[in-house]
Amino acid sequence: MKARVTIMLKDGVLDPQGEAIRHALGGLGFSGVAGVRQGKVIELDLAPELASGDAAAARAEVARMCEGLLANTVIEKYAVEIV
Binding stretches for its own copies (CB under 8 A): 6, 8, 18, 21, 24-25, 28, 30-47, 49-51, 61, 64-65, 68-70
Q: DSSP class of residue 1? A: -
Report, in Å, the least distance between residue 53 CB and its own copies: 11
* Residue 68 contacts residue 5 (beta carbons within 8 Å): no
Looking at the Cβ atoms of 39 and 59, the one nearer to its own copies is 39
Terminal C-alpha separation, the chain: 7
Nearer to its own copies, 28 or 56 (CB): 28
**Least distance between its own copies and beta carbon 7 (Å):** 8
Close Cβ partners of 17 (under 8 Å, ≥ 6 residues apart): 38
